[in-house]
């Protein structure tokens, strides 16, 4: 599972750093392993106009956040949320995801995390940045505020 992609993103994280202009900032912690991530987002015209992050933790959480940023910046918010759902489903697949080719294309580097889904203790690591992104978008005023992005699914794998 430690594919080059993950180690590569870990060593060379994308969009790391907190932009000065932002609509919302959230800070998420995975209490079981101490992984932390802070995410700032800026929304514009129904898209995620900008996103930057800072964090600390294992290669999975940091690399996953890096991959996520690359994928969602510039996307329509609805599309980003749909992608988040896909990634969540991938993480809950216990290593048996059945992905269409379109899914694979869309998930891109995030496919590298499929193997993580076999390790219950690490699914939360992989989801950390994605959940923070979802929360930040909600915080910034998108969609129903009821969906506050707590890592419900990750909590109960």
The residue count for binding other proteins (CB under 8 A) is 24
Q: Does 1 bind other proteins (CB under 8 A)?
A: yes
Distance CA 40, CA 62 (A): 15
From 94, 105, 143, 148, residue interacting with other proteins (rule: CB under 8 A): 94
According to DSSP, the residues that pair with 74 across neighbouring strands are: none
Task: Give the angle subtended at the CA of 110 by the CAs of 60 and 52, to the nearest 5°.
Answer: 70
In order, the DSSP letters of 50-96 are EEEEEEES-HHHHHHHHHHHHHHTTSBHHHHHHHHHHHHHHHTSTT-
Judged by CB under 8 A, the stretch of 50-58, 76-84, 98-106, 134-142 that binds other proteins is 50-58
CA-wise closest residue to 39 among 135, 109, 123, 145: 135
Q: How far is the CB of 126 from other proteins (least distance, A)?
A: 11
Per the listing, tokens 């060379």 go with 12
Q: How far is the CB of 60 from other proteins (least distance, A)?
A: 7
From 12, 18, 27, 34, residue interacting with other proteins (rule: CB under 8 A): 34
Q: Does 152 bind other proteins (CB under 8 A)?
A: yes
Q: Does 118 bind other proteins (CB under 8 A)?
A: yes
Q: How far is the CB of 3 from other proteins (least distance, A)?
A: 11
């Amino acid at each position: 599972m430690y594919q080059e992609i993950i180690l590569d993103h870990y060593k060379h994280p994308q969009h790391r750093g907190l932009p000065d202009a932002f609509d919302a900032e959230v800070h998420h912690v995975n209490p079981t392993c101490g992984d932390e991530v802070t995410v700032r987002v800026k929304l514009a015209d129904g898209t995620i106009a900008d996103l930057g992050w800072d964090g600390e933790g294992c290669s999975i959480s940091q690399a996953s956040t890096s991959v996520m940023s690359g994928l969602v910046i510039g996307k329509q918010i609805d599309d980003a949320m749909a992608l988040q759902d896909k990634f969540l489903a991938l993480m809950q697949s216990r290593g048996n995801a059945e992905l269409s080719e379109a899914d694979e294309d869309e998930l891109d580097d995030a496919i590298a995390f499929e193997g993580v889904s076999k390790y219950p203790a690490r699914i939360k690591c992989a989801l950390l940045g994605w959940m923070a992104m979802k929360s930040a978008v909600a915080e910034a005023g998108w969609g129903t505020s009821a969906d506050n992005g707590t890592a419900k699914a990750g909590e109960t794998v």
